[in-house]
Structure 1
Amino acid sequence: MIIVGTFQPSIEIEHALAEIEQYGILPEEMMVLYMNEFPPISNKKKFPIDIHVSSFEIGIAFATGLAVIGASIGFKLILGPIFSGLLAAIIGFAFGYSIYYFFHRKKENTKHKSLPEIILIIQSPKEIAPSIKQILWKHKAKSVGMRKRM
C-alpha cells in the first residue's frame, strides 16, 4: 500500500516518522517532499524607503505640471508668473507626494503567509496500513490517502 499524508511544517512529522519506524517501516520506504509555493516569492526585499522615493518622484511630476500652469496663469495675477509658478509647484509637490504616499503606504498584510506543505509518502504492507494511517491522523496530518501498489 502507498500512504500519502500532508502536513504543515512542525515537529509532529518527526514524531510520526519515529512512530512509523517502530512498526518496521524502513526509512528507504518513506519519502518526504517539500512543496514550493507557486509563483515563487521574489527574493527582492522591499525597503520602507522605496515608498518615499516613489512618492518624491510623483510629487516632482505634480510640481512640474502645476508650476507650468501656475506660471501661465501668473501673467494675469498680481504676484506675477515667477511667484505664482513657485507657489503652484510647492502646492503640486505636496499634493502629489501625499496622495501617492497615502494610497501606497504599507498596510498590514491581510493575507496569511502559510509555510509550504510537506508531503509524506510511505510504502507499507497491507496489514499495517490502517495503523499507519491512524498514526498520521494522530500527528495532525491535514489529509491522508491510501492506494494499492501497482
Structure 2
Amino acid sequence: MSEPFQTLHHICLVVHDLDRAADYYQSIGLGPWHDFPPFSDFSRLDMPNLEGFLDLKYKFANLQNMQLQLCQPGSGDTPQKRFLDRHGEGVFHIGFSVTDSNRAEAEATAMGLNVLMRGRRPDGSGFTYFDTAEKAGGVTLMARSLPVAQM
C-alpha cells in the first residue's frame, strides 16, 4: 500500500447547519469543537470554484485517535455543496496524514487518481482531494501534511 492512504487523520461530515451539528455532537460527548483556521496561510489553492471554497465553514474536534470535522457549504458551487444537495448530510471525505503532500499526490496520480482540489503553503505542506467518490463508495479521499513548524 502506498503512503497517501496509510494513516487516518480525520473524517469530514458535510452538514446543513454547522453550529447545530456541533452542539448535537457535543451533547453526546464528541468535542470540544474549534473553528478551523483560515486558509490565509496557503499560497496556492487550486479549486474548481475558489470563491465557493473560501465560503466553506469548518469546525473540528480532536478525539483520542483521530479528528472529526464538520463542513457547512456556502451558496457557491463546491464539491461539498453538490454532495450535500445530492446525498444529504454525511461523510464527504476521509483525510489521511502524509509526510509530503507533493510526493503523496504524485503517488496517487500514478495510481490513476485524479486531483479534485489542492492547497499548498509556502513550505510545501498542504492537502490534495482526490476524485474518488464515484469509485470509493461515495467518499472522497484526501491526503494532507502539516506545516514543518507543526510536525
Give the structure-2-normalised TM-score.
0.27
Structure having the higher helix fraction is: 1
Which of structures 1 and 2 has the bigger CA Rg?
1
Give the structure-1-normalised TM-score.
0.27
